[in-house]
Each structure stands twice: as structure tokens, then as C-alpha cells.
Amino acid sequence: MALPLGCGAPTPDAPSAAAPAPDAAVAMLPAAPRAPMAPARPAPVVRREPTLAMDPALEEESSAESHVSMEQEAPLTDGELAASGLSSAVGAEGEEEPAEVSEPAPGQPAEALAQDGGAAPELLAEAPAPDGGTAPEALPLETIELEPNSRSLRARRSIAIRAEPREDAAPIGTLAQDVRVSWVQAVKGPGCDAWVQIAPRGWICERYLEGNFREPRARELPRLAPGAFTPGLYARVVGKGARAYPSLAAARLHQKGRKLQGSLTVRLQVERRVGKHRIWRTSDGEYIEARFLRRYRPSQFAGLDRTQLDVALMPLAWAQSHAHPRAPVTVRKAAADDAPKARALPPRSIVSVLQTSADGRWALVADGRWVLREDLHVVQPSPPPAEAGPTERWLDVDLQEQVLVAYEGAQPVYATLISSGASGHETPEGLYRIWIKFGEVDMKGQAAGQGPYRVATVPWVMFFEGDFALHSSYWHDRFGEPVSHGCVNLSPRDARALYAWSAPEVPAGWSMAYASAEQAGSLVRIHRGAASEAPTPLISSAASAP
């Protein structure tokens, strides 16, 4: 799915292979169960159709999402089929089944995000009952024609999950193909012989489900390989002669090639050798010669978690030169340009701000040690918006400091560096709510003076105002600098952690989720400089159900 966005794409001068600075932190969000949102202040759900592509699961054709489908399972032996009592059509699904990730029981504390690319916190919620209208007629589960020993229901394709058991009900998310879920009940409703209520929430028409003798299985999406911190390999297309071919045979013969123009980033799937040439198949199913591709090395930077913030002396800051972000930061023995140098701090070193000089140009970071204030990205604790509940999860973005802080009520639980919009592509200030989240999504747009761009399968995307989003940026390591097309860029580790922590919850096995009255999106406050304690009106644009 491609979203025509005005933000978040790599710029021609963005470095793609700069070595990341040493990290002083491990990205890990609190393991406490999700605090309930304040029910008294439900925010309107903002859905803007004209520029956001529709969810492919809402289309009539039965095409699976290539980026999010689960890998297939091992075919059953005749002995296993006989023992299960199932027909050979159920459960015979291809490759060997990989190790599973267990889902916590409802209410069980979620595990913290592991630095080595382990499972992110899975935040499960109880399934909401249908609200409003006449209660649907309950049917026995046999109506779904399940096999007698079915333990789960498998999604035949990527399919929309509805808020209520009727075909015109609002979609609340998408279940990825081949995910196995448990069910609560089946009911008769408009547009389907039987609507199945799945766990943890939502309804799916039975025609898109089939019985399976295996236990329910759902994984975090997008999938990560062991030890990985991004879902795939990515590259930028370079060179005037770059072409994309529809097949390996066409690439071998240099026939039917499509000329590639603009700034393009692709996700690499499989490398093939044809004679002396190497050719990559991309996530779009096309083939591009390796000589036209420059691999990205995603940043390994990560912010500070609750444990680290609890012991830090606030306000704290990342030291990063304003003029030369990759250069060491000079520490002087006095608050003066001509004072002797005491030492130099590596980029993104973490310090505490003990005092500011009278003219505001210098910050004391240790006894007799001063750093230029402009070379610090300071985390300043901010009061919660009036709209936030006492323990509600919300995000504060300071464009001046290029810092994001995640809060639970008034308690900071995560802090990190961001990249907001560059000059001419400013990130909009205001108070918003996340209205939709995608595990992965393609982004495209038109950069002023630079032509069109397209970025493939951007992971962990959280839209908060129309086309503006918080999302991972695997194509640069310039966090702390405003370089985006308007979105709030995050390192992959930070984006994954915040995606799992923020609302609306995206259950394991779902490729996207909408905010709703029951699952209000997290508040996002964006400002420049100190946040005002005066009430900030919640910004929302004209909403329409997708």
C-alpha cells in the first residue's frame, strides 16, 4: 500500500551509510500493564480519505498483503491427519512452522522490548461488545462449518476486522493472512452467513476464515529475524540507467525494463546471480541490478527508558554539536568562548544540565565544566495536556530541542532524539491524537525542487494528523537534526518501542489498527520550546469513516 505523504522520505543529501554514534542507552519501555484511557474525554477519530490509500483488506478482490503475510506451515503427515480427525485440506500449509511467540493472557504484564530485537510488548485488550442497534442473533459455532477438532481459525487472506457484526460496520484493523486466532462467538449479521467475534476484539466474516487444528498463533508485525532491529534490508536506487524488470528472465535479457526516476528506496528480498551480475528482487516483486543499489545501514541509536530516566538528574540532555552533529562537543572550563578546553564529548553523550549562564549561551554539565547551550538537546519535563487522563500514555515533541518524551500521566517513561521537518517542510505544531497505525507502509510524495520520491515499507508508522506521522527512518542517522519532509522521524529501535507502547493497541497478528471510541489514540503534543501550561485545543480535521 502506498500513501502519498508530504513527509518522512529520504532527501538526496541524507547520508545513508554513516556509522552510528555509540549509544549510551538501551531502548526499553516500561513493562507495566497499559493504563486505561480516560473515558470521560474521548477524542474524535480523524480519518482523512483523499490522501491516504485505503486498507487493501477492504478491497473486494482477494489479494493478500505481500508485506505482512505470515510464513506458511509444515504440511501434516497422513498419521497426524488421522490422529487429528481433520481433512487433508486443513493445516497443510507449506513450510516448516517456526518457533512461536506466546501471547500473554489478558491483564498479564507485557514484557519489555529486548535490545537484541526480541519480542516487543504485546498489549492485549478485552474484546468490546457491539454497541448500539439490535443485538445480532447468536448462532451455534457449527454454523461456521468448523472441523470437530479445530483449535483456532486461520485467516485465508488479509482481511478487515469490523467493529460490529455487519458488512457496513467501521473497520478497526486488519488481520494478516495465515494468522491463527481464537474466537468468542458467531452471530448472524448483514452481509455474511456468520460473523465471528475474534480475540482480542472485532468481527470477521466466516468466509475468510477456516478451521485449524493448531493452537492460535499471532506474532508481532512486522516480523523480525533473530537479532535484527529492522524487518528487512533496504537500499536506495542510484544511477541514471537503473531499470526495474518484471521477472528474472527479463532482467537477464534486459527486456521490458521500467526506467526508474526520482528518489527511490526499495526493500530487498532475494539476491540472484546471472553470470557476473547480481540482481535483487524487491518487495514489489521487481528485479533491479545490484550495481544500481546502495544499501542503507539503519541507525542503532536508542533513547532512554523509564529505569534510566528514574535515576537521571533532570533536566538531562544529549550533547550534539549544532554546527557539526558528528563532531565531538567541546567542554570548556568556564562559560566563555575563549576559556580553556577541558575535554571533548563524543556525539550524543548524555549529560545533566546543572545550571545555565546568565546570558543563556552556556550550560553547566559538571563542576567547572561548560558546554554551549545550542550543542545540547535538553529533555525538559512538561505538564500533561488537560485532555490527558491521570495515567494516560501520551507523547511530547519539542521541535526546538529535537526531543520526544513519552509520558504516563506526569511520569516520563521514555525520551529520545527525533528528526522533524526541515525548513519548508515544518512539522505542524498543536495537540493531536494518533488516529491510525501501520506495521509497515509505503510512502511517496513530491519534494519541492527535488522531484518525486517513494520509500518502501516504512516500519512502525503512527499517523497523528492527516498524512503526518511518527515513524521509523532506516535511511538516515541524523536524529537531533530537522531533516524530514514534515513527519517525526525516529530511529528503528525507538519507533518499534513507541509503536508497541502507544494507543491504539495493535494486537499481534494485526498489520494495522484504527483508533476508536474504545481504543482512543495516544495524544501527541508538538511545540517549539517550553510547553505552555495553558489548555491547548485538540486539533482534528474533518473525519469520515473509511
Per residue of the chain (546 residues), give pLDDT as tens: 444 445 643 333 333 333 333 333 333 454 333 333 333 333 333 333 323 333 444 443 333 333 333 333 333 333 332 333 323 233 333 333 333 333 333 333 333 333 333 333 332 233 333 344 455 666 654 455 556 678 999 999 999 999 999 999 999 999 999 999 999 989 888 999 899 999 999 999 999 999 999 999 999 999 999 999 999 999 999 998 999 999 999 998 888 899 998 899 999 999 999 888 899 999 999 999 999 999 999 999 999 999 999 999 999 999 999 999 999 999 999 999 999 999 999 999 999 999 999 999 999 999 999 999 999 999 988 999 999 999 999 999 999 999 999 999 999 999 999 999 999 999 999 999 999 999 999 998 776 666 788 999 999 999 999 999 999 999 999 999 999 999 999 999 999 999 999 999 999 999 999 999 999 999 999 999 887 655 567 776 433 333
Q: Which residues of 518-531 are buried (b: 16+ CB within 10 A; e: fewer)?
A: bbbbbbbbbbeeeb
CA distance 67 to 155: 16
CA 268 to chain centre: 19
Predicted local distance difference test score (pLDDT) of residue 131? 44
Predicted local distance difference test score (pLDDT) of residue 144? 55
* Fold matches, 1-70+298-315+380-546 and 136-218: no
Distances (CA, A) of 349 to 319, 377, 490: 5, 10, 18
Contacts of 365 (CB under 8 A, 6+ apart): 317, 319, 331, 351, 352, 353, 354, 371
Predicted local distance difference test score (pLDDT) of residue 538? 76
Locate the domains of the chain by residue range.
1-70+298-315+380-546, 136-218, 233-295, 316-379
Predicted local distance difference test score (pLDDT) of residue 138? 62
Classify burial at 409, counting beta carbons within 10 Å of its beta carbon; exposed 0-12, middle 13-18, buried 19 or more: middle
Cell of 464: 497523528
Amino acid found at 47: R
Q: Which residues of 93-115 are buried (b: 16+ CB within 10 A; e: fewer)?
A: beeeeeeeeebeeeeeebebbee
Cell of 210: 477456516
Predicted local distance difference test score (pLDDT) of residue 129? 39
Q: Is 1-70+298-315+380-546 CATH 3.50.30.10?
A: no
CATH number of 136-218: 2.30.30.40
CA distance 141 to 145: 8
CATH number of 316-379: 2.30.30
